[in-house]
């Protein structure tokens, strides 16, 4: 019996290896589509709802897509509409989706590294400590252990506070686990009707969720690289010089994420500081916590401690920009990714200085990486533009709300101004498709561009068009 199981597992791994080798871009689409179908069927069961009445197909599909694509947009309240079974299914979808996106992104990164030259291959090997597709099983195990450990650590931090809030150990454990998994995976789902709104100033509850979202948005390669750099730094007595062992990807992800966190928090805090419907009634410590929380959530977290629909439209616009960028590559966050933004900004700085090369931290970034960053950005902007136009024609909402909802769906954030549940069915299908494209499209598009390394024998004469 054990021999048969091992044989089947080996065959499955070989099949995944073969698909990843020849068509990595299709791997993400096929896997996520299949998983969404399974979870839609599970949520259509009568016992999935608290009332015992089967959910409408569009609501079950939307919820399945939102959970597997770890978005957090909901058309039915998670804590009151879905039964315990339904909530468990949603949590399982979040877990599978989070692990799936990190695993598939890492596998595709390995495939791409084998196709675009020795330098990039060595870079990927240094980040993941593996360079062979035959080591996919080891990579998957490492991702599962790392993610689960961090999720449980966040749940442990939340548990004492939930014991006080719920006055029920079992319920407290369930809520702590739900929030721990949802936070690290940047899912934004909450098992209670009001979510975190009643706890805007609760540092013991809000801070661990903030930490979980930020860690999840960094990405598996960065988390693993930082851990190994710290461990090797201590063993070799490097002290503060452990950071020298970080890869360029890790440095760009950390610095850009922290920069966006500080800048976003400051701007949102200034815009909402006196808003009577959001930060205005809070005292200073609570305002600081709410500001930090609001600055982290556009990474793709999706939680909120104040009414997002009551924020200033200028705050929505700033949040739109932060959501579009998203988090780190091979992470649970969405968006075009912070390294994409970093490369474009570095290219602008290099051009302004008149430098021939794009440099960062003593390393030169190849021009094909810049072309890839521009392609991913244009792809994301196009998807948001087309979806916003369609949503404007399908609903009566203004551009500010529609753009916010569209960006939240594409970047798999989950923040909403409160219109999701009131959308017509056709608009829900549109947002479901957009969440799916936002979760898988960026990876597949980037992989497709990276793998198109066409060598040309004849090159045309150079001529510079006028720019600007």
What pTM does this model have? 0.86
Q: What is the pLDDT of residues 8-20, one digit of tens each?
A: 555 655 555 555 5
Q: First vs last Cα of the chain: how many Å apart?
A: 69
Answer whether residue 120 shows pLDDT above 90.
Answer: no
The torsion angles phi and psi of 49, rounded to 5 degrees, stand at: -105, 155
For residue 41, the tally of other CB atoms under 10 A from its CB is 12
Asked if residue 273 has pLDDT above 90, the reply is yes
Torsion-angle region of 117 (φ positive above 0: left; ψ -120 to 50: alpha; else: beta): left
Tell me what the mean pLDDT of segment 293-300 comes to. 93
User: Residues 419-452: pLDDT tens digits?
Assistant: 999 999 999 999 999 999 888 776 666 665 555 5
Question: Tokens standing for 298?
Answer: 């556009």
Poorest-pLDDT segment among 119-133, 159-173, 370-384: 119-133
In this structure, how many other beta carbons lie within 10 angstroms of the beta carbon of residue 231?
Answer: 12
| b/e sequence 416-450, b meaning 16+ C-beta within 10 Å | bbebbeebeeebbbbbbebbbbbbbbbbbbbbebb
The alpha carbon torsion through 158, 159, 164, 168 (nearest 10 deg) reads: 140
pLDDT band at 33 (very low <50, low <70, confident <90, very high): confident
Q: What is the pLDDT of residues 137-153, one digit of tens each?
A: 566 777 788 889 999 99
**364: β partners:** 359
Which of the two residues, 168 and 390, has the higher pLDDT score? 390
> What percent of the chain shows pLDDT beyond 70?
78
In this predicted model, what pLDDT tens digit does every residue of 53-72 receive, in sequence order? 999 999 999 999 999 999 99
Averaged pLDDT score across all residues of the chain: 84
Each residue's pLDDT tens digit, 186-228: 999 999 878 899 999 999 999 999 999 999 999 888 888 888 8
């Amino acid at each position: 019996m054990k021999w048969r199981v091992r044989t089947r597992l080996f065959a499955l791994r070989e099949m995944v290896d073969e698909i990843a080798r020849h068509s990595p871009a299709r791997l993400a689409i096929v896997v996520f589509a299949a998983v969404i179908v399974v979870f839609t069927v599970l949520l259509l069961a009568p016992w999935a709802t608290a009332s015992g009445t089967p959910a409408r197909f569009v609501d079950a599909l939307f919820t399945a897509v939102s959970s597997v694509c770890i978005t957090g947009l909901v058309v039915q309240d998670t804590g009151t509409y879905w039964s315990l079974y339904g909530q468990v299914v949603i949590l399982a979808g979040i877990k599978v989706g989070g692990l799936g996106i990190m695993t598939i992104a890492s596998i595709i990164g390995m495939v791409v590294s084998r196709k675009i030259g020795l330098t990039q291959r060595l870079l990927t090997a240094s980040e993941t400590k593996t360079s062979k597709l035959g080591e996919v099983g080891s990579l998957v195990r490492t991702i599962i252990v790392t993610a689960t450990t961090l999720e449980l650590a966040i749940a442990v931090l939340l548990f004492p506070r939930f014991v006080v809030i719920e006055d029920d150990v079992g319920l407290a454990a369930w809520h702590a686990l739900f929030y721990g998994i949802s936070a690290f995976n940047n899912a934004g789902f909450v098992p209670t009707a009001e979510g975190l709104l009643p706890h805007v100033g609760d540092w013991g509850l809000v801070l661990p969720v903030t930490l979980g979202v930020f860690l999840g948005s960094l990405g598996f390669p960065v988390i693993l690289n930082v851990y190994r750099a710290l461990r090797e730094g201590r063993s070799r007595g490097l002290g503060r010089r452990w950071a020298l062992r970080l890869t360029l990807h890790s440095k760009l992800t950390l610095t850009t994420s922290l920069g966006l966190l500080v800048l976003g928090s400051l701007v949102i805090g200034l815009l909402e500081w006196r808003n009577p419907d959001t930060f205005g009634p809070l005292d200073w410590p609570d305002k600081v916590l709410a500001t930090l929380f609001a600055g982290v959530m556009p990474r793709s977290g999706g939680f909120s401690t104040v009414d997002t629909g009551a924020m200033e439209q200028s705050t929505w616009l700033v949040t739109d920009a932060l959501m579009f960028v998203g988090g780190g590559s091979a992470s649970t966050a969405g968006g075009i990714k912070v390294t994409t933004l970093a490369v474009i900004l570095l290219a602008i700085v290099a051009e302004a200085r008149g430098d021939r090369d794009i440099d960062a931290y003593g390393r030169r970034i190849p021009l094909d990486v810049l072309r890839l960053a521009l392609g991913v950005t244009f792809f994301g902007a196009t998807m948001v533009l087309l979806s916003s136009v369609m949503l404007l024609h399908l609903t009566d909402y203004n551009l500010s709300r529609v753009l916010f909802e569209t960006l939240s769906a594409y970047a798999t954030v989950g923040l909403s101004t409160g219109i999701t549940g009131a959308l017509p069915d056709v608009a829900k299908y549109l947002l479901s498709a957009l969440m799916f494209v936002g979760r898988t499209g960026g990876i597949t598009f980037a992989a497709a561009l990276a793998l198109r390394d066409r060598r040309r024998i004849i090159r045309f004469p150079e001529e510079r068009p006028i720019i600007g």
